[in-house]
Amino acid sequence: MGNPMKIRAAVKEGVTEVKVLMQHNMETGLRKGADGNLIPAWFITEVKAQYQGRTVLEAQFGQSVSKNPYLLFRFKGGAAGEKVSISWVDNTGDSRTDEVAITA
C-alpha cells in the first residue's frame, strides 16, 4: 500500500478546486542505481478522482511524470463538508486512496 497523499479541496463560487500531492517515486526504469544496474520501472499509471461517488477526473500517468506528482484540477459543484476522494494505481499493482472533505 502506497504512502498517504496530501489533498486540499476548496469550493468557491460553485467551483471546487482540488490540489493533490501524491507520494510516489515515479521511477522511469531507465535510470541506473549506484550499483550500475537499472532501477526497475515504478510509476503511477492511473489516477481517478471521485466526488460523491461520481468520477470527476480520470487520468493516465506515465514515466514522464515527476517524482511526488502534484495535480490541480477544478470541477463544477461541490459544497463544504462533502467528500472528494483520489485514488491511484501503479504499474506494480499497488494502489492508494485518500479522501478529504471540501472546505468553503
Task: Tell the smallest beta-carbon distance from residue 55 to other proteins (Å).
Answer: 22
**Contact predicate 82/38, CB 8 Å:** no
CA–CA dist 92, 76 (Å, integer): 33
Q: Whose CA is closest to 48, among 1, 20, 88?
A: 88
Contact region with other proteins (CB under 8 A), list: 15-23, 49-57, 74-82, 88-96: 15-23
> Of 16-55, which residues contact other proteins (CB under 8 A)?
19-21, 23, 33-34
Cβ neighbours of residue 77 closer than 8 Å, sequence gap 6 or more: 14, 15, 16, 51
Task: Tell the smallest beta-carbon distance from residue 50 to other proteins (Å).
Answer: 20
Cell triple for 32: 541506473
Candidate list 29, 40, 70, 103; residue touching other proteins; CB under 8 A:
70
Nearer to other proteins, 67 or 74 (CB): 67
Candidate list 58, 67, 101, 103; residue touching other proteins; CB under 8 A:
67
> Based on C-alpha coordinates, what's the Rg of the chain?
15
The contact set with other proteins (CB under 8 A) reads 3-4, 6, 8, 19-21, 23, 33-34, 66-68, 70, 72
